[in-house]
C-alpha cells in the first residue's frame, strides 16, 4: 500500500513545476517519516490498550 501511495504522490508532485526537485525529495522523506511514526504510535497503542486503543476517554484514565 505504501508503494502505491508513494507512486501517486510522486505523480502528483511532478505536475508542480515551480518547486525544485530537492524540496520535493525532502518533503517526500518527511511525509514517509510522519507515516512511519504514526504507524509506530498505532502499534504501541494497540499493544498497550488492545481493542480499546482508539477510545480517548479510556486512554486518558489509564495514563
56's grid cell? 480517548
Domain assignment present for residue 14? The answer is: no
Residue span of the structural domain in which 56 resides:
20-63
Count of domains for the chain: 1
Q: Which of 8-12, 18-22, 36-40 has the lowest mean pLDDT?
A: 8-12
The answer to whether residue 7 sits within a structural domain is no
Overall size of the chain counted in residues: 63
Rounded Cα–Cα distance for residues 12 and 3 (Å):
14
Q: For the whole model, what pTM was predicted?
A: 0.53
Are 28 and 9 in contact, with CB atoms under 8 Å apart? Answer: yes
Task: Give me the chain's average pLDDT, please.
Answer: 78
- Cα separation, 31 vs 44, in Å, equals 20
The whole-angstrom separation of Cα 14 and Cα 44 is 35
Q: What pLDDT is recorded for position 58?
A: 54
Amino acid at each position: 500500500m505504501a508503494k502505491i501511495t508513494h507512486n501517486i504522490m510522486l505523480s502528483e508532485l511532478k505536475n508542480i513545476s515551480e518547486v525544485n526537485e530537492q524540496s520535493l525529495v525532502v518533503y517526500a522523506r518527511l511525509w514517509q517519516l510522519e507515516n512511519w511514526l504514526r504507524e509506530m504510535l498505532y502499534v504501541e497503542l494497540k499493544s498497550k490498550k488492545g481493542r480499546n486503543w482508539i477510545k480517548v476517554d479510556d486512554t486518558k484514565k489509564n495514563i
